Chain A
Amino acid sequence: MKTKKLLSKIRAFFDSDLRDVQRQTDSLREVLDKLKKKETVLKSRLENEHDPKARKKLEKKISLVHSQRKKGLDLLKSLHLSDSPERE
């Protein structure tokens, strides 16, 4: 695993396009992490909420964050495909 990581770092050093892709991947991961945390917090707030109006609002927020996460994960997958060594 370590060798693989080292190799990808070396490849990135010589390939500026690849470096850009890796930078994008890292940023996307960071944003996705934040979104995941946000979703967890919102879900736990929903569990403790009894007011129907507030619950509805929270549910809406959760489904929004969920859609954002899904979009982000799809983007990450497509970046991984373009990052693979088989690319032309």
Chain B
Amino acid sequence: MLRKILLPTIFAILAYGFWLSPNFKEIAAGVAIFLFGMLSLEEGFKVFTGGVLEKLLKRSTDRLWKSLSFGVVTTTLMQSSTLVSVLTISFLSAGILGLSEGIGIIFGANLGTTTGAWLVAGFGLKVNISAYAMPMLVFGIILVFQKQEHLKGVGYVLTGLGFLFLGIHHMKEGFEAFRDNFDLAAYAVSGYAGLLLYAVIGVAATVVMQSSHATLVLIITALSANHITYENALALAIGANIGTTVTALVSALGADISGKRLAGAHLIFNGVTGLIAIVLISELIWAVDVISLSLGIDDLDFTLKLAVFHTLFNLMGILVMLPFIQPMVKFLSVVLKEKPGRVIGPLYIYSATIEFPDAALEAVRKETLHIFDHAQEIIIAGLGMSADQVFSEKPLKKQLQNQNFITRVDIEDLYNRKVKRIFSAVIAFISAADFSWKEKHPSEFHWLREANRNIVDAVKGTKHLQKNMLRYLVSDNHHISVEYNRLRISIAELLFQLHQIRNGNDPDLGILSLDELKLDLKEFDIQQSRRLYQLIHENRITPEMGSSLMNDSAYVASIRGCLISMASTLFVTASHELSSAERQIALDDSEIEDVLEKDS
């Protein structure tokens, strides 16, 4: 209801303001152009996030100081803490990054974002930046129309910078013209009441504009035109810092538990920092004066002093909060717990990850492994075995010799509870990712989708096999019981071999080594059907048993085939180029048959 009213109200207020004052219109247009510039800048940097930024993130976050520096440097370069936050949440959800490293990056990003104030106060207001904006826009747009992705990316970055500059120019012009007609400074409120009031205004402005950077530029341009007092500008800056966490909280609503924890850390950091800044405001103002004096900043240059203040209080926040990172991780893990539900959901994927190709791919891979772990558990239970038996070095046949009874498990129920939801989420995610960026990693996504399908088919195959298997394993007819035991052992042995491959216990196994498993499967199939016909021919099993065995052998072949195909995608550790070469060389069914024929 509130949302329905909010937007028309904002539109009405803005329209009334535009009608009332052309200067207000210019300031608002400046903010709009500035925000559009930020969107364009983010779009541009996203082109590069597929490679450099993500590799850098993987490498440079193993120590706290490194994650802090990463946050500072990337936010300084991209001038967008939002993009860095979203990237961090994506990597956190994909399990590439730990929560404490993520918090380090967020702390760093808070400091990095203060460079924006320096740029605007030190450069934007002193130089006629609109003169730079025009060529940037022209070159940028030409590059945006280019086919190559990296040129397009550079184009978006240039266009973004051009619009940022143009936006600042319009805000500056608007405030300067505004000064002649109207004195906003008359509404200045001094003391703690003013501090709190303007901090709240800063929060509100940032929530509306969804960017603390835009709020800060607006504050600096208003301050430069003497529309607000220095003290009130400081309060607005504190408010902007707190307001930016609302954006992070909103985006974390759709995130998984780790994303929510990171947003929680962001809120705690900015909240505590803001609170300290409000309490220690006079000490901070004194410190800003001392630092400004030592940096040679003029005592009346309030815009640069605001930049000093912004950096100083964020730095102070980092210094205060740094020792509390580990307690904060513990606190957030206790407060924001994973809900233990009966139905198991995805662990690594959520919509924000789609934005970053490498993180998305890794998330899907991990999620598929997650599905496989549950599926394997179901298959093993469906075969009437335990994981300890299957993954033991002792021969399975011997271990199962003394098995007197087999407990029936409800595979359909287990599938619905442990696999179905994750499987549906992965398929939906891959489909959405396909539309997001078709050019990067399309084949990897295709193979991962196939791997998911294979895992689910293997579970369903086990369900079909289970019915007759449970009946005939305890049959009085020794022959049929032996055959069904052989069938289930063949699946379990394959799971054992795949387990070895997954854990890297077999040194020379890659996609091509899976051909050996395919060969074994074919051979097993041939021997199985020979035995089957012999058993029927010699009347050792009834024709009814024979037809069941024939159908179930087909299920077993399909289960094993699915598991081998899945492994060729999921357990491959080679580079993309090498694995695709191996895939090309891997033998198909008829080629495997040829090898068998030659051999026999």
Contacts and interface: CB of A to CB of B under 8 A. Distances in A.
B581 A63 contact: no
A30 B512 contact: no
Which 5 pairs show the lowest CB-CB distances between chains A and B?
Answer: A27-B581, A27-B577, A72-B585, A31-B581, A28-B581
Contacts of A28: 581, 584-585
B519 interface: yes
Interface stretch (B118-126, B379-387, B587-595): B587-595
**What's the dominant secondary structure at chain B's contact region?**
helix
A55 B175 CA distance: 89
A68 interface: yes
A11 interface: no
Contacts of B578: 27, 30-31
Given A59-B599, A61-B516, A63-B598, A68 B585 contact: yes
How many of chain B's residues touch chain A, expressed as a range?
10 to 19
B580 interface: yes
Nearest to A25: B581
Nearest to B578: A27
A68 B586 contact: yes
A67 to B, nearest CB: 5
**What's the dominant secondary structure at chain A's contact region?**
helix
Interface string A45-88: 00000000000000111011101100110010000000000000
Contacts of A27: 577-578, 580-581
Contact of B599 (A23, A60, A72): A60
Interface string B485-520: 000000000000000000000001000100110010
A75 B585 contact: yes
Nearest to B523: A60
A12 interface: no
Contacts of A23: 577
A35 B516 CA distance: 13
A32 to B, nearest CB: 8
A35 B515 CA distance: 13
Interface string A6-37: 00000000000000000110111011000100
Contacts of A35: 512, 585
Contact of A63 (B508, B577, B599): B599
A65 B587 CA distance: 10
A68 B587 contact: yes
A49 to B, nearest CB: 16
Given A23-B577, A67-B595, A75-B584, A60 B512 contact: no
A30 B577 CA distance: 10
A31 B512 contact: yes
B506 to A, nearest CB: 13
Contact of B587 (A31, A38, A61, A71): A71
Given A23-B577, A24-B581, A38-B508, A67 B591 contact: yes
Contact of A31 (B519, B582, B594, B595): B582
Contacts of A38: 508
Interface string B558-600: 0000000000000000000110111011110001001100110
Given A35-B512, A68-B512, 7 more contacts: A24-B577, A27-B578, A31-B578, A64-B595, A67-B591, A67-B594, A68-B586
